[in-house]
Structure 1
Amino acid sequence: MSTKKVWFVTGASKGLGLTLVKRLLKEGFNVAATSRTVKSLKSEVGNASNFLPLEADVVNETSIKNAIAKTVETFDGIDVVVNNAGYGQLGTLEELSDKEARRNFDANVFGPLNVIRSVMPHFRAKNSGYIINISSIAGFLGGFPGWGIYNATKFAVAGFTEALSAEARSLGIHATVVYPGYFKTNFLLKGSLHFAENPIADYKEARELDRAHIEDIPGNQPGDPEKAALALVQLAGMENPPLHFFMGSDAYGMANNKIELLQKELSTNEALSRSTDF
């Protein structure tokens, strides 16, 4: 059995998760990967002695606990966790029902939290471990009409990753939140991107962005998923990985633009900000 790190990757049957799993296996890592059906994993990846396909639903805490336990039993431990499972939900805040919003939070927020809760006892016991939480540039920049709930889920991922880093650093455990831009995967295709069940025509900007994500952007994303997988492997190889990692030139540029705007607003309103002290 390989002595290389053991990776646990959720949402691995397609997109960035699948590309990452294939890269890891090619480089000889031991890999446990989850999907809602093992059949889809096996059909995409095949069989290998260092590969453990697991049928698991991140929303189901028992399912995730069992998957973590099976991985530890099979590979004698876990070193790196990648919380990748989730989906995009389009729709303005008025349009989306409570059910639609909560379903997105269940997958994108409470799912990775289930994974973190299940793996942390193992990481604490060995005083080491690395958790990579996949957010989105939409988890740093909220100015996308019709993406508000998705924004909120990915902002939440960034927030709890910051907290996790502060809580677990002294235990020898690292955490990184990754903000990908647009990568040429199937994220924008049916199954990974959900639209509002009851759209409202008045929201012209949101409808135009819907159209762009159906007609213009798929196939024209600047990001290479193979290079994204390599970047994640490099992060896991760092002695002190970054807390925040913006992945892709588009994400890097948008992040810089927001930081400049924040700095400008801080400077412009400094006197008013400080005026509220005793």
Structure 2
Amino acid sequence: MNTKKVWFVTGASKGLGLTLAKSLLKNGYRVAATSRNKQALMDTIGPKSSHFLPINMDLTKNNDVREAIEATVLHFGQIDVIVNNAGYSQIGTLEELSDEEVMTNFRVNVFGSLHVIRNAAVYLRKQQSGHIFNIASIGGYTGNFAGFGIYCSTKFAVAGFTEALAEEMKLFQVKTTLVYPGYFRTNFLAEGSIQTPANPMQEYKSARELEQAHLNEINGNQPNDPEKAADVLMALSQQENPPVHFFMGEDAYHYARLKIETIQKEMDAHRHLGLSTGFDHQ
């Protein structure tokens, strides 16, 4: 275990990011943690030290992100592991969500991660080492959840650019892992973290039912332990050949297998028609 590595963790004032930052420090790693509220980081984790750097950062502003990464390198002398963890879930059907609600979710979940990647890659390329973790969601692999289409689409976008990133960074010996977590018992589904539609439409009964299930039943009863997730990410960072795709949680495996089975069945059922487009097809 190379505990001299410097981890850069976004969205570290609560949820999985907070648990990860604390676990990393407990295990001797050096950590730069970001949040829109630097004081929240200091209150929950501790003051600035030789091992910990709390950073006030607006993920949606590229200059903010660039300055945060520069501050990390200035403080620690290097940057090694990037964890694009910050994000939130926007509930709402495609019809009822406004353009601004949709764009805000994309600005944080998609473009925010791209800001981090763009600015961190400069250092990782030059040192010919590093590891980028992009935290998606099982909703970034299967999107058949009524009322979660926009959130899922942000995570599908993360999955898409991470697959390309993995190929692009191979040349520089930088590892890339796309993480698909299931439900973890954090405040991700709590009020203030999850966003509900400003103008809900009651006609979408299935979406309203799934929304209420997440807010009132799943919240607080998630099957996965964030402490164990932190251990898993540390273990992955130590692997010589970590996976590009990593499903985390029994529920994530369940939903992924359901989609794989569905796609395989539909491909098999429509194989003749699907292959009929070739010039040489009889």
Q: Same fold (TM over 0.5)?
A: yes
2:178 maps to a residue whose letter is: V
Match of 1:32 in 2: 32
Matches of residues 1-278 of structure 1 in structure 2 within 5 Å? 4-47=4-47, 48-278=49-279
The CA RMSD over aligned residues, in Å, is 1.0
1:9 maps to a residue whose letter is: V
1:118 maps to a residue whose letter is: N
1:251 maps to a residue whose letter is: A
Q: Distance in 1 between matches of 2:212 and 2:106?
A: 24
Q: Distance in 2 between matches of 1:49 and 1:167?
A: 33
For residues 217-264 of structure 1, what are the alpha-carbon distances to aligned partners after superposition, in whole Å with 9 as ceiling and x for unaligned?
111100000000000101111111101111110001110111111111
Please state how far the C-alpha of 1:3 moved relative to its aligned partner: 5.6
Q: Distance in 2 between matches of 1:41 and 1:207?
A: 34
For residues 193-238 of structure 1, what are the alpha-carbon distances to aligned partners after superposition, in whole Å with 9 as ceiling and x for unaligned?
0000000000000000111112111111000000000001011111
Q: Distance in 1 between matches of 2:87 and 2:146?
A: 20
The question of whether the paired residues in 1 share the 8 Å contact of 2:57 and 2:64 is answered with: yes
Fraction of identical pairs, as percent? 57
- What secondary structure does 1:193 align onto? coil
1:19 maps to a residue whose letter is: T
- What secondary structure does 1:59 align onto? coil
Please state how far the C-alpha of 1:49 moved relative to its aligned partner: 2.8
1:138 maps to a residue whose letter is: G
Q: Distance in 2 between matches of 1:61 and 1:170?
A: 25
Q: Distance in 2 between matches of 1:187 and 1:3?
A: 29
For residues 55-108 of structure 1, what are the alpha-carbon distances to aligned partners after superposition, in whole Å with 9 as ceiling and x for unaligned?
001101000000000101111111100000111000000000000000000000
Q: How many matched pairs?
A: 277
2:46 maps to a residue whose letter is: G
- After superposing the two structures, state which structure 1 stretch, 167-176 or 16-25, moved more: 167-176
For residues 117-136 of structure 1, what are the alpha-carbon distances to aligned partners after superposition, in whole Å with 9 as ceiling and x for unaligned?
00011111011111000000
Please state how far the C-alpha of 1:165 moved relative to its aligned partner: 0.5
The question of whether the paired residues in 1 share the 8 Å contact of 2:182 and 2:249 is answered with: yes
For residues 7-63 of structure 1, what are the alpha-carbon distances to aligned partners after superposition, in whole Å with 9 as ceiling and x for unaligned?
000000000000000000000001000000110000000134300000001101000
Are residues 71 and 264 of structure 1, via their aligned partners in 2, closer, same or farther at CA, if it must alter by over 3 Å? same
TM-score by length of 1: 0.98
TM-score by length of 2: 0.96
